[in-house]
A and B are shown apart, each in its own frame.
Chain A
Amino acid sequence: MTDATLSAAPAAAPKPRASLLIADERTRKRNAAESRFRAYGLSAIGIALIALVVLLSSVLTDGIGAFRQTYLTLPVALDSARLDKNGNRDPEDIKKATTLTYGKLLDQAVQNTVAQQGIAIAGLTEKDVSDLVSKEASAQLRNRVIANPELIGQTVDARVLVNGRVDGYYKGRVSMDSAARDSNTSPAQLQLADALKDKGLLATQWNWSFLTNPDASDQRPEAAGVGVAILGSLYMMLVVLVLAVPIGVAASIYLEEFAPKNRLTDIIEVNISNLAAVPSIVFGILGLAAFINFAGLPQSAPIVGGLVLTLMTLPTIIIATRAALKAVPPSIRDAALGVGASKMQSVFHHVLPLAMPGILTGTIIGLAQALGETAPLLLIGMVAFVKNFPAAPPEGLFDPASALPVQVYNWTQRADPAFFERASGAIIVLLVFLLCMNILAIFLRRKFERRW
């Protein structure tokens, strides 16, 4: 206290006492700085939101086209002489007729239709007419006939895909000008399509088959779909659900409720927090080296993808589960122990059920993260071209399949710009799945949220 008694209180420099009602020069400047600072903050939020809007709208506008497809409806004469030479409708015999044969039938049908409708267009070649129909159409017609052999000999109304360029013409991707420079189409072909559209034979319709078709080859973007990819992604989610959730919850229970404070526990904890931040591609390398090269599991199989994604998702699930367990107040544990329950009983009978909503939410977030993951799947061969649907699980887990995000990547690597539309369409499917999962998570959190 000596210094206080020695010194006088601060001899306040005579400060001009201005009225509070008038802001002085300095205050005005400081308030201007304040407004600028606020403006920076607000514009940062604005930029982030604009980025979100641009990102989503660019994907949506590009991808919505994949859900609409142009079809030509025309009568096709299924000539029994060419499709079933023996005439006994034996399925084995019918299968001998190749897509080439069906292609010729379709070709004939288109030429006939054009002639019947009396469409005359300058510069229209025969090739323009026959190429109007997608190369995939003959295969689809063949499958239809094999399924219904009694169609042979009749003239059926077939709804067939038109080629990707003509489809692109109705989606604004192809114009008369670009068609003139394009060896795969011609302005005359587009005029023909317009003429058929006027007659009501050609129409752009809702396209369910985008969701159910498998991938298609480079020349047939109009037939490509995400069926195999959706199935592959579902299989992998199944593996993740079956493996990551029990293991993750068990590990969290041990670490949160039982683990002694020792070296080993510390190592596990550090490991988990680091694994959560390891780049995803490193898990791909692990999957390639451990599951494919070392263990000899097949490439492109959902089981391998599922295992890799399980390892990736585990830290997320563990971190979320531990947070949920931590949120259960100790008084609950004490209450259970107090009536003579064992530690294990108190955890499994009381703590775990109370933490369940939090665990579920964390699990769904982890699954959503796994569903969108691409990089590690590239390394374990999921990029391969897969046209056949995998079998039902569990055997199907070992069949080659694709996955939604990998299918997107795959399509971006193709030359035909029509595949970009497909890629954006696949992203829409992916985002819809993610949206549903997140809505479910939010719903669960709202419904079961508990305040202690």
Chain B
Amino acid sequence: MPVSWTLLIVLAMAAAGFAIGRSRVLAAAGGDSRRLHSRTSYYGWNIALFTAVPALFLIAIWLFAQPQANRWVLGAAALVLAAMGLFWTLGRTTPQFRARIAVEGFVRGLLIMCSMIAILTTAGIVFSMLFETGHFFRQYPWQEFFFGTTWSPRFGGGSQLGILPLLWGTLYISFIALAVSIPIGLFAAIYMSEYASPRLRGIAKPLIEVLAGIPTIVYGLFALVTVGPALRDYFAQPLGLGSSGSSVMTAGLVMGIMLIPFVSSLSDDIINAVPQSLRDGALGLGSTKSETVRNVVLPAALPGIVGAILLAASRAIGETMIVVLGAGAAARMDLNPFEAMTTITVKIVSQLTGDTDFAAPETLVAFALGLTLFVITLGLNVVALYVVRKYREQYE
């Protein structure tokens, strides 16, 4: 019996339960719906919900845990559960039964379950990575992972899996990205909130936000096809700094462009949260607008802006597609920004795509990398969200 049939039968039972419940309770009340505790449809819903929802849950969970399960066994179990729900609620359907309360309690339970999914997701992330990372550290010493300066996985044994070169590449690229995006984003936000005419703001703000809506794969291709070769031909080669199109500079620049709208819209919100009275105070003393911004608005907004920068840093560290296509794959600890280097995210992708053997440390290391990435970004996010929240409270 295919699953879709089971689903149809369960839904049909629920619909029938709805109709029977309504008419039965109305008949029991002598056709006068005012003698009922709740409106008639609540009696119907009570039956329909208790019939369908538990059976549907059973099917979903069973299929998830055991996709190859025997469809007949599954179908029979689901139908029995649905029938039990149907008869139990039918039995309770009397005019005195407080159906609205029952239905609302049920719905409330569903709402709570939905909001728990956030916790489940976080738990899923943490446990799936912890579990596999545990496997990894049983095969590979953690000291060498965290302090090793060489990254050279070899399928077949003898791999060196030190995270430091990856961390270096990640931080170097993020640094360049922030060095590009913070001044541009911040100045753009200042200009838009303090100087721009409504007309200019109306045009420039949405256009800058378009940058935020462009998928990262597009930035990645832009780095690979346009920025990388341009940097190589006009900067790296003439200056004798290297001959690679993929480089820290390529990925950093493009990621910087990607982060401009992120920094500017967050800063814009934060600058706008600075009360107008402070600006008036400074202007009333004869400050110019730029003095007002530099001496009063920015210091007042500083905690919020720091929070925004931390969030941007977390974005940069976790960004994948731009570095996969723009930074290169060579694990290297170098200062030359025109050299190809690699990042944690690039290596997660390369270790987990293609042929993977989930017993080998070369594959499992990706989970340890993922966990490290998760912990770093989580730390940045928690601090940033805390700082921003404190900042907002200050002016509320």
Our verdict on whether A and B bind, yes or no, reads: yes
CB of A210 within 8 A of chain B?
Answer: no
Please state if A374 and B321 are interface contacts (CB–CB under 8 Å).
yes
CB of A295 within 8 A of chain B?
Answer: yes
Please, which residues of chain B bring their CB within 8 A of the CB of A342? 100, 104
Please state if B111 and A250 are interface contacts (CB–CB under 8 Å).
yes
CA distance A387 to B4 in the complex (A): 27
Please state if A247 and B114 are interface contacts (CB–CB under 8 Å).
yes
CB of A412 within 8 A of chain B?
Answer: yes
Please state if B115 and A268 are interface contacts (CB–CB under 8 Å).
yes
CB of B306 within 8 A of chain A?
Answer: no
Please state if A438 and B213 are interface contacts (CB–CB under 8 Å).
yes
- Quick one: which of A49, A253, A254 has the most chain B CB within 10 A? A254
Please state if A374 and B353 are interface contacts (CB–CB under 8 Å).
no
Q: A48-B211, A278-B377, A409-B217 are in contact. Are A285 and B367 (CB under 8 A)?
A: yes
CA distance A42 to B117 in the complex (A): 45
Please state if B289 and A34 are interface contacts (CB–CB under 8 Å).
yes
Return the chain B residue nearest A312 by Cβ: B121
Please state if A420 and B225 are interface contacts (CB–CB under 8 Å).
yes
Please state if B128 and A285 are interface contacts (CB–CB under 8 Å).
yes
CA distance A383 to B352 in the complex (A): 11
Shortest distance between the CB of B121 and any CB in chain A (Å): 5
CB of B146 within 8 A of chain A?
Answer: no
CB of B129 within 8 A of chain A?
Answer: yes
CB of A118 within 8 A of chain B?
Answer: no
CA distance A47 to B289 in the complex (A): 22
Choose, from B50-58, B312-320, B334-342, the stretch at the interface.
B312-320
Shortest distance between the CB of A180 and any CB in chain B (Å): 23
CB of A242 within 8 A of chain B?
Answer: no
Please state if A41 and B187 are interface contacts (CB–CB under 8 Å).
yes
Q: A33-B290, A44-B184, A277-B381 are in contact. Are A250 and B115 (CB under 8 A)?
A: yes
CB of B210 within 8 A of chain A?
Answer: yes
Shortest distance between the CB of B348 and any CB in chain A (Å): 6
Q: A38-B191, A250-B114 are in contact. Are A311 and B352 (CB under 8 A)?
A: no
Please state if B215 and A374 are interface contacts (CB–CB under 8 Å).
yes
Please, which residues of chain A bring their CB within 8 A of the CB of B358? 293
Contact of A430 among B215, B317, B345 (CB under 8 A): B215
Q: A250-B114, A279-B345, A295-B65 are in contact. Are A58 and B226 (CB under 8 A)?
A: yes
Please, which residues of chain B bring their CB within 8 A of the CB of A51? 211, 257, 260
Q: Give 29 CB contacts A-B under 8 Å.
A: A33-B290, A34-B290, A37-B290, A38-B191, A41-B187, A41-B195, A45-B191, A271-B121, A277-B315, A278-B318, A279-B373, A282-B129, A282-B370, A282-B374, A283-B125, A284-B352, A285-B348, A286-B125, A286-B128, A289-B128, A289-B129, A296-B68, A371-B215, A375-B349, A383-B353, A408-B217, A408-B221, A431-B218, A434-B213
Return the chain A residue nearest B181 by Cβ: A48
CA distance A294 to B319 in the complex (A): 26
Contact of B218 among A31, A34, A42, A55 (CB under 8 A): A55
Please, which residues of chain A bring their CB within 8 A of the CB of B208? 45, 48-49, 52
Please, which residues of chain A bring their CB within 8 A of the CB of B321? 374-375, 405, 409
Please, which residues of chain A bring their CB within 8 A of the CB of B218? 55, 59, 372, 408, 427, 430-431
CA distance A420 to B110 in the complex (A): 48
Please state if A378 and B349 are interface contacts (CB–CB under 8 Å).
yes
Please, which residues of chain B bring their CB within 8 A of the CB of A43? 187
CB of B241 within 8 A of chain A?
Answer: no
Shortest distance between the CB of A311 and any CB in chain B (Å): 5
Q: A34-B288, A289-B128, A412-B221 are in contact. Are A274 and B115 (CB under 8 A)?
A: no
Query: Which residues of B from 268 to 293 have beta carbons under 8 Å from A?
Result: 288-291, 293
Interface mask (A179-193 → B, CB under 8 Å = 1, otherwise 0):
000000000000000
Q: A254-B111, A254-B114, A282-B318 are in contact. Are A31 and B125 (CB under 8 A)?
A: no
CB of B28 within 8 A of chain A?
Answer: no
CA distance A342 to B226 in the complex (A): 60
Shortest distance between the CB of B188 and any CB in chain A (Å): 4
A34-B291, A55-B214 given; 19 more Cβ-contact pairs under 8 Å? A34-B288, A38-B290, A45-B187, A45-B196, A51-B260, A52-B210, A54-B226, A58-B226, A251-B115, A279-B314, A279-B345, A281-B320, A285-B129, A289-B131, A290-B124, A374-B217, A378-B349, A424-B225, A431-B214
